[in-house]
Amino acid sequence: MIRLGILGAGAIAKTMAKTIRMMNDNGYDRIQLYGIASRSLAKAEAFAQENGVIHAYGSYQDMVNDPDIDLVYIATPHSHHYEHAMLCLEHGIPVLVEKAFTANAEQSRKLLAYAEEHHLLATEAIWTRYQPMRQMINDAVFSGIIGTPKIVVADLSKPIAHKERIQKPELAGGVLLDMGIYPINFAEMICGHPTGVVSVCTGNEAGMDLNDAYLFTFENGVIGNLYSSAEAFSASDGMIHGTLGYIIVRNVNNPSAIEIYNLDNELIRAIDAPKQLTGYEYEVMETVEALEKGWLECPSMPHAETIHVMELMDTIRKQLGVVYPFEK
Ligand SMILES: NC(=O)c1ccc[n+]([C@@H]2O[C@H](COP(=O)([O-])OP(=O)(O)OC[C@H]3O[C@@H](n4cnc5c(N)ncnc54)[C@H](OP(=O)(O)O)[C@@H]3O)[C@@H](O)[C@H]2O)c1
């Protein structure tokens, strides 16, 4: 059984704890909610009590010093993923790192090179890559039912610009790394890597992007029209427009349904997502399988793909003029 430690006792840490509890309650016993580490012992203890975690640690260092930890889930802001994941790897502990994997591509390359060199699993917790809907969407798009795909439109927008991790340059803020990464991954899971990108944004006074638009061209001739806002609210759907109709994917952040429309604008097929616990169980199961089999990466999000997405986001940030203080 894999003993999981969670590093950082924030919002997504709580969701991960709930996911593991639900997995265990549903008979999946290959992972255990073993540890929670916070910069404050009182916070870690409260988290452990509320979320059914066995051990609480008052510092990240204390948790990585525990020889019984088999895997750490990094649940801190983007700015700190590199430092915190490296701390675990240096103590011989594999990592499941929240998206965005790091703040920039250079950090990703260094972290993954270290993990590979030391034969430790490192993988990015971008949940949509691991979910069964990924294949179901591609099956629908490439079944021929909408003809040849020509345009992909996708966005993820929620009014969360007030949050520290979005506002602050020192936390690698902005909407791109936090939410823009989802429409980008959505388009890439269908079309592969883009051949070109043009991006614009509006942002806050600290220079962080809050409303972004990214235009992609793909090798297969598809155009991607992607956007993300930390100020507006939207349905956050994805759409694939083809020569014989179009597909709507409800919620690119956790796809719940696929709807297929013909040239008469009639709904001809609707496919629901398989029943899920929280939707995060798929990344956990694949990470556990990878650890059990001695893999260094997860097939759903290989290292090369994580580095590619980070390089793409570096390019986009250059176009947007978004620079984090630790990069200057
Ligand atoms: N996959 C998803 O669906 C999803 C959803 C939301 C967020 N995320 C990702 O998860 C990560 C964390 O997001 P979150 O919403 O959980 O954020 P959050 O609620 O702000 O929690 C982040 C935690 O990081 C720790 N931390 C360490 N250094 C910090 C610093 N300098 N400033 C602030 N916090 C610091 C804190 O834990 P302690 O005080 O306990 O040390 C804090 O509670 C981000 O990478 C985000 O993109 C993913």
Token pair listed for 185:
């991954």
Token pair listed for 151:
């345009």
Q: Name the residue of 165, 253, 281 to mutate for ligand 1: max ligand atoms within 8 A of Cβ.
A: 165
Q: What is the pLDDT of residue 143?
A: 97
Q: What is the pLDDT of residue 328?
A: 84
State how many domains the chain has. Answer: 2
Query: Can you tell me the distance from the alpha carbon of 165 to that of 21, in angstroms, rounded to the nearest whole number?
Result: 27
Residues 249 and 142 in one domain: yes
Each of the 328 residues of the chain gets a pLDDT tens digit; together they read: 999 999 999 999 999 999 999 999 999 999 999 999 999 999 999 999 999 999 999 999 999 999 999 999 999 999 999 999 999 999 999 999 999 999 999 999 999 999 999 999 999 999 999 999 999 999 999 999 999 999 999 999 999 999 999 999 999 999 999 999 999 999 999 999 999 999 999 999 999 999 999 999 999 899 999 999 999 999 999 999 999 999 999 999 999 999 999 999 999 999 999 999 999 999 999 999 999 999 999 999 999 999 999 999 999 999 999 999 999 8
Question: What is the CATH classification number for the domain harbouring 197?
Answer: 3.30.360.10
Residues 169 and 262 in one domain: yes
Q: Which atom of ligand 1 is closest in space to residue 178's alpha carbon?
A: 47
The verdict on residue 55 lying in a domain is yes
Structural domain span for residue 103: 2-128+280-295
Question: What is the CATH classification number for the domain harbouring 76?
Answer: 3.40.50.720
165 lines ligand 1 (CB under 6 A): yes
CB 298 within 8 A of CB 123: yes
Residues 82 and 205 in one domain: no
Residues 172 and 263 in one domain: yes
317 lines ligand 1 (CB under 6 A): no
Residues 224 and 148 in one domain: yes
Q: What is the pLDDT of residue 87?
A: 98
Q: How far is the CA of 223 from the centre of ligand 1 (A)?
A: 33
The verdict on residue 142 lying in a domain is yes
Q: What is the pLDDT of residue 247?
A: 98
